[in-house]
Chain A
Amino acid sequence: DIVMTQSPDSLTVSLGERATINCKSSQSILYSSNNKNYLAWYQQKPGQPPKLLFYWASIRESGVPDRFSGSGSGADFTLTISSLQAEDVAVYYCQQYYSTPPTFGQGTKVEIK
């Protein structure tokens, strides 16, 4: 199974400041035949189900604010919130769908300083 490791486990950021979450896979999840990275990002707010933010590592899901961006390739990926808002307090998960079983990172909790 592909192991997904996120860092840090938690992050405290001031309103309006940048938040950066890293995600590393135990093997490359870049499929060479289509040059796509099989990585998604989800946001889970307290008491709610996860919500898809990004797929193919950097394609923003419809309705996701553009202060969120996804980047990276191969085995190293980043989720960035350019200007943290109060409503962004949540746990963020990366997930690979390169192979079965799909696997998630352990989550990164983002809080306001």
Chain B
Amino acid sequence: QVQLVESGGGVVQPGRSLRLSCAASGFTFSDYGMHWVRQAPGKGLEWVALIWYDGSNKYYADSVKGRFAISRDNSKDTLYLQMNSLRAEDTAVYYCAKDRGSTSPYFDLWGRGTLVTVSS
């Protein structure tokens, strides 16, 4: 069925790194832009990063630019988020989300999320 499944979250100390993965199924992964969106505990939604369908372009929120890197492997239908120099304020549920295409960049499919806790 059509779904996104995130993994890789956990508890990590400030300054350390973590890599999240998002496995896609049920649709042609390589046709769509993919995003990471996060939600701090009890807070609203914050967009984190976007990668185009072919990986040719990447965009980041100012809050993570230079620390996080989005990538994808279309042969494995998998999206990644490499998170370096983690801070307490990066603590959140991280969702991967699919958009409906470059001309329709709203999020029509979301994973259930993976929790990242940055704490010493």
Chain A residues within CB distance 8 Å of chain B: 40, 42, 44, 48-52, 55, 61, 93, 95, 97, 100-107
Contact = CB atoms under 8 A, between A and B. Distances in A.
Contact of B106 (A44, A48, A95): A95
B32 interface: no
A93 B95 CA distance: 15
Contact of B61 (A44, A52, A101, A107): A101
A95 to B, nearest CB: 7
Given A50-B110, A101-B59, 17 more contacts: A42-B107, A44-B45, A49-B113, A50-B45, A50-B95, A52-B107, A55-B100, A55-B104, A93-B44, A97-B105, A100-B50, A102-B105, A103-B47, A104-B44, A104-B45, A104-B47, A107-B45
A97 B106 contact: yes
Interface residues on B, range: 20 to 34
Contacts, number: 49
B114 to A, nearest CB: 11
Interface of B: 35, 44-47, 50, 59, 61-62, 95, 100, 104-108, 110-113
B108 A104 contact: no
A55 B106 CA distance: 7
B44 A49 contact: no
A93 B50 CA distance: 19
A107 B110 contact: no
A101 B100 CA distance: 16
Nearest to A50: B110
Given A49-B113, A50-B107, A101 B45 contact: no
